């Protein structure tokens, strides 16, 4: 990995973490009034992917989309305004935390129903192919989405039509409180099953930027070459409750050992350790952090200052007038 | 003498109904996302697994369509199930199995399909367009389905039990804002036939106007009526409870008496259940109506997430009282001066609600 890439990956991870921690810290104030699924612990995959994609490559995601949106370059202020329900939110305050969009950077939308945006991504990919574009489409989803019919129907179509789709499954082993073993056969690996569908697959540690880098670099190249979709399974872990700002491991739904293992593999802390160990003192980390902190604090201020939409919603708001 | 009733929340009443039914029917299953997790679907499924075991009470993969079909298959082998969904919106993935199988099996093959599907409707706290849809009229539109919408703990318990033991697919709709609402239920529990129990209920008696409501709106209407009573405006309030099959008799009797009709609906306006009531009543009782019937429904607009956009969005006691006064052509402009405005904050059911969904 090049030095510049490493710096930029670290910055991405730190920035997403800082945003999410601040949301968590301030959620209790009751200004961010919507179901909010934080990405803390799961920042690495989108942060690395950012190295290999351009604005013309489009991404879609689900309920846990903050990291995907931010790493793709989505406007932070607009995201916060959306979570605060303000008029300059990226979805004009109509969607909340689960409905993010920033077309200007190729973040094509996140939606709130499990597996619901997977076919949308495949449709976008079909359009890219029909238009003979070299762009690829990234579809983010969790281990729970694998259980919905829409996943199979969509990936089958993507394989059939050799569409330029990067299916990214962030397997954090849980769907809300329910562990994978209550939902999917114990000895079956998701990526191996998908291989059986006829899609090239890989799996890797989703908290280790170096491993992710290697896998993604090859995958994106291949998808771009027009050979069809690839499915990547990334093992990772969410630190806080499924939905909301708190820790909930007092409920004992996750084995203590797993929790310890994954907290030690915190993508931010372990990357910073590695950077230090490798004596890659390539930047004034403290300064860089401060810059990000200032930017994020500024964005929060902006969201707080912004106005609620004050107009009355009418049917004018639900039908398009022109293409 | 010991009291025959007790005060209890709606989620506890539902929990009691499930415990009772699982005990009565040793084959009954209870499953759905979150059924056995620590939160137990807003406390409604708490302790079921402990009491009845993993074979009968279990969490499931996120596969709403298949699981609906699976509950149909089970029913063909005489195993009933209650399948729960934390939002109605998630159940939209299951329309094929619901509409093409569950609702049609008895018609085509003469085999009953006793399944109960619990759907929870969200509102406020940024639920937004896909966590808040009130689609009861969709289900009522499908021949072969029964549709139950309780507004209080007693009905929730009694009607859920009746739904479970009914030999047909029943859609049982719970408004999230009612889960913590308290009410009296009978201590004694029994199984009554849904078709007998599922009649409309007159909540308030009155002579000037008939108000038809269901679910959360029954409570908003009661607040409006309590207020208007001070001005000697007495209306009759009917809680629908079961919208399919609908007990037309109670509504017709009331409208014949009052000659005025206001229908409230948590669903959006076009083709709402309110529209159905008004059209049927107008056709059947045209000569009895003193004024054109009125409906107060949600607009034909998805629920937005923003706090700013949901301000004034919902139907409140004041909106109901305004309609009543207009229908009855009451000119006194001061009447509405003191009626409760939308509470602040307006997007939560009470201080018990701490988010996030
Ligand atoms: C169709 C549907 N069913 C259920 C839900 C409720 N729900 C929201 S997120 C979620 C968990 C999904 O787990 P996973 O896909 O692994 O994503 P994670 O939350 O772990 O990131 C569930 C069940 C939903 N939104 N949509
Ligand atoms: Mg998961």
DSSP B118-130: EEEE--STT--TT
User: Chain A residue with minimal CA distance to B89?
Assistant: A113
Nearest to B126 among A85, A113, A184 (CB): A85
pLDDT single digits (tens) A46-90: 999 999 999 999 999 999 999 999 999 999 999 999 999 999 999
Query: Which residues have beta carbons under 5 A from ligand 2 (an ion)?
Result: A 142-143, 172, 174
- The answer on B168 and B50 residing in a single domain is yes
- What spacing in Å lies between the alpha carbon of B130 and ligand 1's midpoint? 13
Nearest CA to ligand 1 atom 13: A175
Which pLDDT score is estimated for B312?
94
Domain CATH for B224:
3.40.50.920
Is residue A114 domain-resident?
yes
User: What is the domain count for chain A?
Assistant: 1
In a domain, B273, yes or no: yes
- Residues of chain B positioned with their CB less than 8 A from the CB of A115: 62
In a domain, B337, yes or no: no
Domain end position, chosen among B146, B161, B193: B193
Query: Is residue B230 classed exposed, middle or buried when 0-12, 13-18 and 19+ CB atoms within 10 A define those classes?
Result: exposed
B345 belongs to a structural domain: no
Q: Tell me what the mean pLDDT of segment A90-101 comes to.
A: 98
Q: Count CB atoms within 10 A of the CB of residue A234.
A: 27
Strand pairing of B210-213 and B81-85? unpaired
| pLDDT digit string (tens) for chain B, length 357 residues | 688 999 999 999 999 999 999 999 999 999 999 999 999 999 999 999 999 999 999 999 999 999 999 999 999 999 999 999 999 999 999 999 999 999 999 999 999 999 999 999 999 999 999 999 999 999 999 999 999 999 999 999 999 999 999 999 999 999 999 999 999 999 999 999 999 999 999 999 999 999 999 999 999 999 999 999 999 999 999 999 999 999 999 999 999 999 999 999 999 999 999 999 999 999 999 999 999 999 999 999 999 999 999 999 999 999 999 999 999 999 887 899 989 889 999 999 988 887 788
pLDDT single digits (tens) A200-248 = 999 999 999 999 999 999 999 999 999 999 999 999 999 999 999 999 9
Kindly state whether residues B189 and B221 are assigned to the same domain: no
Which residue segment(s) compose the domain that A308 sits in?
3-314
**End residue of a domain, out of B162, B193, B224:** B193
Residues B147 and B10 reside in one and the same domain: yes
Give dist(CA A139, CA A45) in Å, integer.
12
* CATH code, B134: 3.40.50.970
The distance of Cα A66 from the centroid of its chain, to the nearest Å, equals: 6
**In the prediction, which pLDDT does B277 show?**
98
Residues B85 and B161 in one domain: yes
- Contact B130 CB / ligand 1 (< 6 Å): no
B111 and B34 together in one domain: yes
Average pLDDT in the A136-149 region?
Answer: 98
What residues make up the domain containing B241?
201-327
Interface mutation target, options B40, B58, B128, B176, chain A, most CBs of A under 10 Å: B128
Residues B139 and B226 in one domain: no
Contact B146, B193 (CB under 8 A): no
Who's near A8: CB < 8 A, 6+ residues apart? Answer: A50, A51
Residue A321 in any domain: the answer is no
Contacts by A270-275 with C-beta closer than 8 Å and gap 24+? A270/A207, A270/A208, A271/A9, A271/A10, A271/A13, A271/A44, A271/A209, A272/A10, A274/A210, A275/A6, A275/A10
Q: Is residue B114 part of a domain?
A: yes
Which of these is catalytic: B19, B49, B85, B131?
B131
SS3 content of chain B, % helix, strand, coil (to 5): 40, 20, 45
Separation of alpha carbons A83 and A96, rounded Å: 5
Contact A192, A156 (CB under 8 A): no
State the distance from the centre of ligand 1 to the C-alpha of B350, rounded, in angstroms: 26
Average confidence (pLDDT) over A170-196: 97
Residue A319 lies in a domain: no
Determine contact, residues B150/B240, Cβ cutoff 8 Å. Answer: no
As beta bridge partners, residue A166 has A138, A230
In a domain, B127, yes or no: yes
CATH number at A234 reads 3.40.50.970
**A322 found inside a domain:** no
Question: B131 catalytic, yes or no?
Answer: yes
Residues B120 and B260 in one domain: no
The conformational region for residue B201 under phi > 0 = left, psi -120 to 50 = alpha, else beta, is beta
**DSSP state string for A6-47:** HHHHHHHHHHHHHHHHHHHHHGGGS-S-S-----TT--HHHH
Buried b (16+ CB within 10 A) or exposed e, B285-313: beeebeeebbbbbbeebbbbbbbbbbbeb
CA–CA gap between residue B157 and residue B148 (Å, rounded): 12
The answer to whether residues B86 and B185 belong to one domain is yes
User: What DSSP line would sit under B93-158, residue for residue?
Assistant: GGHIIIIIIITTHHHHH-----EEEEEEE--STT--TTS----HHHHHTSTT-EEE---SHHHHHH
- Look at residue A31 and tell me whether its pLDDT is greater than 70: yes
Q: pLDDT band at residue A193, thresholds of 50, 70 and 90?
A: very high
User: Is the residue at B151 inside a domain?
Assistant: yes
Indicate whether residue B89 lines ligand 1 (CB < 6 A).
no
Of chain B, the end-to-end C-alpha distance in Å amounts to 42
Residues B21 and B104 placed together within one structural domain of the fold: yes
- CA A282 to the chain's CA centroid: 27
Residue B317 falls inside a structural domain: yes
- How many domains does chain B divide into? 2
User: pLDDT of A261-299, one tens digit each?
Assistant: 999 999 999 999 988 887 666 668 889 999 999 999 999
Shared-domain flag, residues B292 and B275: yes
Tokens describing residue B208: 């000037």
Cross-chain Cβ contact B62/A147 below 8 Å: yes
Helical spans, DSSP H, in A27-165? 44-49, 66-71, 76-84, 118-130, 149-160
Q: Is A310 part of any domain?
A: yes
Whether residue B225 sits in one domain with residue B142 = no
Contact A228, A137 (CB under 8 A): no
- Mean of all residue pLDDT scores within chain A: 96
Does the residue B288 lie in any domain?
Answer: yes
Cβ-proximal residues to A157 (8 Å cutoff; 6+ apart), any chain? A122, A163
Do B174 and B273 sit in the same domain of this protein?
no
Give the end-to-end CA distance of chain A in Å, rounded to a whole number.
43
């Amino acid at each position: 990995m090049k030095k510049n890439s490493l710096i930029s990956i670290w910055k991405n991870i730190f920035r997403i973490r800082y945003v999410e921690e601040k949301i968590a810290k301030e959620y209790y104030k009751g200004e961010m009034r919507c179901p909010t699924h934080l990405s803390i612990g799961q920042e690495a995959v989108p942060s690395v992917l950012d190295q290999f994609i351009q604005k013309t490559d489009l991404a879609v995601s689900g309920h846990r989309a903050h990291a995907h949106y931010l790493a793709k370059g989505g406007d932070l202020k607009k995201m916060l305004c959306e979570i605060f329900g303000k008029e300059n939110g990226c979805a004009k305050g109509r969607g909340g935390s689960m409905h993010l969009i920033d077309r200007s950077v190729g973040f094509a939308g996140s939606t709130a129903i499990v597996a619901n945006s997977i076919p949308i991504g495949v449709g976008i990919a079909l359009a890219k192919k029909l238009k003979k574009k070299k762009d690829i489409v990234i579809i983010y989803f969790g281990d729970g989405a694998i259980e919905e019919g829409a996943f199979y129907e969509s990936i089958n179509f993507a394989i059939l039509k050799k569409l330029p789709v990067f299916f990214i499954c962030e397997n954090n082993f849980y769907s809300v409180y329910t562990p994978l073993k209550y939902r999917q056969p114990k000895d079956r690996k998701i990526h191996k099953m998908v291989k059986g569908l006829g899609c090239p697959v890989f799996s890797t540690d989703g908290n280790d930027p170096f491993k992710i880098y290697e896998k993604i670099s090859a995958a994106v190249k291949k998808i771009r070459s027009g050979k069809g979709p690839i499915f990547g399974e990334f093992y990772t872990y969410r630190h806080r409750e499924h939905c909301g700002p708190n820790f909930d491991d007092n409920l004992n739904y996750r084995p203590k050992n797993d929790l310890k293992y994954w907290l030690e593999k915190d993508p931010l802390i372990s990357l910073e350790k590695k950077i230090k160990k490798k004596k890659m003192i390539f930047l004034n980390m403290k300064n860089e952090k401060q810059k990000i902190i200032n930017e994020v604090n500024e964005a929060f201020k902006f969201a707080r200052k912004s106005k609620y939409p004050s107009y009355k919603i009418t049917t004018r708001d639900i039908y398009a007038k022109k293409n | 003498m010991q009291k025959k009733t007790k005060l209890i929340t709606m989620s506890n009443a539902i929990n009691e109904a499930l415990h009772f039914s699982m005990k009565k029917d040793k084959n009954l299953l209870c499953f759905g996302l979150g059924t056995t997790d620590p939160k137990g679907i807003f406390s409604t499924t708490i302790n079921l697994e402990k009491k009845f075991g993993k074979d009968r009470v279990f969490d499931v993969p996120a596969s709403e369509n298949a699981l609906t079909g699976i509950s149909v298959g089970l029913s063909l082998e005489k195993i009933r199930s209650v399948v729960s969904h934390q939002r109605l919106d998630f159940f939209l993935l299951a329309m094929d199995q619901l509409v093409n199988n569950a609702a049609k099996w008895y018609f085509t093959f003469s085999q009953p399909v006793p399944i109960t599907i619990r759907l929870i409707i969200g509102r406020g706290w940024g639920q937004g367009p896909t966590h808040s849809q009130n689609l009861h009229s969709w289900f009522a539109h499908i021949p072969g389905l029964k549709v139950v919408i309780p507004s209080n703990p007693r009905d929730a318990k009694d009607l859920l039990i009746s739904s479970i033991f009914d030999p047909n697919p029943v859609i049982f709709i719970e408004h999230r804002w009612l889960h913590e609402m308290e009410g009296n239920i009978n201590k004694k529990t029994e199984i009554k036939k849904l078709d007998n129990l599922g009649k409309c209920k007159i909540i308030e008696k009155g002579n000037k106007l008939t108000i038809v409501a269901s679910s959360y709106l029954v409570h908003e209407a009661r607040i409006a009526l309590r207020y208007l009573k001070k001005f000697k405006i007495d209306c009759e309030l009917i809680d629908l409870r079961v919208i399919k099959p609908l007990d037309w008799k109670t509504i017709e009797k009331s409208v014949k008496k009052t000659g005025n009709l206001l229908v409230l609906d948590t669903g959006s306006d076009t083709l709402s259940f309110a529209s159905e009531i008004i059209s049927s009543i107008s056709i059947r009782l045209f000569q009895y109506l003193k004024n054109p019937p009125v409906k107060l429904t949600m607009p034909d607009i998805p629920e937005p997430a923003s706090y700013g956009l949901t301000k004034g969005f919902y139907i409140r006691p004041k909106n109901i009282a305004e309609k009543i006064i207009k229908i009855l052509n009451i000119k006194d402009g001061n009447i509405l001066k003191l009626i409760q405005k939308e509470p602040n904050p307006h997007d939560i059911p009470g201080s018990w609600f701490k988010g996030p969904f």
